[in-house]
Amino acid sequence: MRKNTLLFLIAGIILLLLFPVFLPRFYVYLLSIILLYGLLATSLNIVLGYGGIFQFHHAVFYGVGAYGTALMLTKTAMPAILAFIVGPLVASALGFILGIICIRLSKLYFGMLQISLGSLVWAIVYRWYSFTGGDDGIHGIPIPEMLSSYIGAYYYTLIITAVCIFLIFKIINSPFGSALQGIRDNPVRSEMIGINVKRHQILALTIAGFFAGVAGSLFVVVDNTVFPDMLFWTLSLEILIMCLLGGWFSFMGPMLGAGVIVALRTFVSTYTVYWALVLGVLMIFVIFFLPNGILGYFEERFKKVFMGSEIKE
């Protein structure tokens, strides 16, 4: 079974590496977007699926990461690589600060406060014309030569996403990841076995903010623009649905969810303007028929086939 997984992984990577050779420009662009959204959804799932924290407004960190990178590239003469590091670091610092403020509230109340504070950040970006470009955003961001072609951007996105997904995987399977999952299942018990619950949650939020920021900086490379909608709450809702649809208790679930949602959005919006409606109906189906998401559903089927009756106990 392990060997199969590895083969799948290698086949997948080779396929992803070869795509730009035979796919037209638009699809390569779409694939880049799927990858970075997948990273974004996976970063949310660190705190959502593995941490049990209702981070409702995750797009803020994505947007701040993107703006951080974009502003560094346009307003300073510092080396580009620094911009790609500073963006995520700012996002992660924001994750830390919002985390400290919100974590005193539990469950849904955390989510509520997080939405309001996140919207505040959005409002600042939206209003501060002189610095952020207001509702116009920033266009034509200068990107280093190597990454400025659509193929360069694709490979950059692919590599960074792969590295980040690998790092997140390591974190989830580390002692910290175990503790985080324990906290998700039972915070009171976790405290009682000596875990400082709030500190672990804040670190998780900081980490999630960082990787969301990385996804934001990838968008700058792929699209050369940033705009305030990147940290609007509707995007947060979409990321949340990616996690739920793909499966928030499966590691690759959010990535799959991102693929489905981005592809669907692209094709649906050529036929109708009612994308939100389609999304809503889709969500109802997921909640009723696939409570563990697509990947969760298949994992369960898989277990049943391979272990027979054992799962029933």
Write the secondary structure of 75-139 as one string of H (helix), E (strand) and C (coil): HCCCCHHHHHHHHHHHHHHHHHHHHHHHCCCCHHHHHHHHHHHHHHHHHHHHHCHHHHCHHHCEC
Smallest gap from residue 51 Cβ to another protein (A)? 12
Q: Would you give the DSSP letter of residue 194?
A: T
Please pick, from the candidates 181, 224, 266, 292, the single residue that binds another protein as defined by CB under 8 A.
Answer: 181
List binders of another protein among 100-159 (CB under 8 A): none
Q: Which helix (H) or strand (E) holds 35?
A: helix 25-48
Cα 80 to chain centroid distance, Å, stands at: 23
Which of 99, 63, 71, 77 is CA-nearest to residue 214?
A: 63
Residue pair 40/162 in contact by the 8 Å Cβ criterion: no
Contact criterion met (CB below 8 Å) for 218 and 191: no
User: Could you say whether residue 89 binds another protein (CB under 8 A)?
Assistant: no
Among 7, 78, 82, 185, binds another protein (CB under 8 A): 185
Shortest Å distance, C-beta 49 to another protein = 10
Binding mask 200-229 for another protein (x = CB under 8 A): x--x--------------------------
Pick one of 107, 109, 163, 191: the residue that binds another protein (CB under 8 A): 191
Shortest Å, Cβ 194 to another protein: 4
> Smallest distance from the beta carbon of 183 to another protein, in angstroms?
9
Nearer Cβ to another protein (194/308): 194
Among the listed residues 16, 48, 66, the one whose alpha carbon sits nearest the alpha carbon of residue 205: 48
Interaction site with another protein (CB under 8 A): 167, 170-171, 173-179, 181-182, 184-186, 188-197, 200, 203, 249, 313
